[in-house]
Amino acid sequence: MARVELVMPKMGESIMEATILKWRKKPGDRVELDEPVLDIATDKVDSEVPSPVAGTLVEILFNDNDVVAINKAIAILETEAAGVQPAASPAVAPASVPGGEKESAAVPYQPAPVAAAPASDRFYSPLVRTIAREENISQAELDAILGSGQDGRVTKKDILAYVAGRGQAPQPQVQPAALQHRPTPLLPLHQHLRHPPCRSAEP
């Protein structure tokens, strides 16, 4: 039986790492070709990572919420086919780079700077944090959003719905100033003269 490494796929030219959101399989589980094994997230997109072969998940090398460099092995699969060649780039098709792989290999991996840990212990994917930063959503607002994802996590859909609802707050209806203070109409002078005051009869 052959062993195959499941690697963190390349999601784009400028993306050098991704966060593991959730493992869908555990060691010992059977996986089929192209069956999703785990969910990952970057600061641009969330994605699934399918299995490059049909076989069994033998070992998981990283846990949920771990940040892993692109092309680094994240799990070991075991397949019954001897000498099998796994499909390239499990999540997305590899992008063509002028000059081949030598140019990309010459650039060493530089991990992205880690921001200070937020006061909240709630986990947010890089994509959700990017949207929150671009939309000026505070940490308190982010913590108040109800998540529909695994374990109540806030998904891209959740935060975009919050952003859309932000600008649709109902505005109080105010009457025009002309209708708020309508003066009592005055009768013309000639209407007052039509009805002179009554005089008492002389004795």
17-74, pLDDT tens digit by residue? 999 999 999 999 999 999 999 999 988 888 999 999 999 999 999 999 899 999 999 9
Residue 121 is assigned to a structural domain of this protein: no
Q: Rounded to 5 degrees, what angle do the CA atoms 31, 36, 38 make?
A: 105
165-201, pLDDT tens digit by residue? 886 655 555 555 555 555 566 655 555 555 555 555 5
12 and 72 together in one domain? yes
137-163, pLDDT tens digit by residue? 998 888 889 888 877 888 888 888 998
Residue 105 is assigned to a structural domain of this protein: no
Can you give the CATH number for the domain in which 29 is found?
Answer: 2.40.50.100
More confident residue, 10 or 151: 10
- pLDDT value, residue 13: 82
10 and 67 together in one domain? yes
Average pLDDT over residues 109-134: 67
C-alpha to C-alpha distances, 157 to 32, 37, 40, 74, 104, nearest whole angstrom = 29, 22, 16, 27, 34
101-111, pLDDT tens digit by residue? 433 334 444 44
Q: Number of folded domains in the chain?
A: 2
Residue 162 is assigned to a structural domain of this protein: yes
Q: Which residue has the tokens 């105010």?
A: 174
Can you give the CATH number for the domain in which 152 is found?
Answer: 4.10.320.10
Residue 113 is assigned to a structural domain of this protein: no
Q: Rounded to 5 degrees, what angle do the CA atoms 191, 195, 199 make?
A: 155
51-65, pLDDT tens digit by residue? 999 999 999 999 998
End residue of a domain, out of 82, 105, 134? 82
Domain range for residue 59? 2-82
Amino acid at 113: P
Residue 23 is assigned to a structural domain of this protein: yes
Residue 47 is assigned to a structural domain of this protein: yes
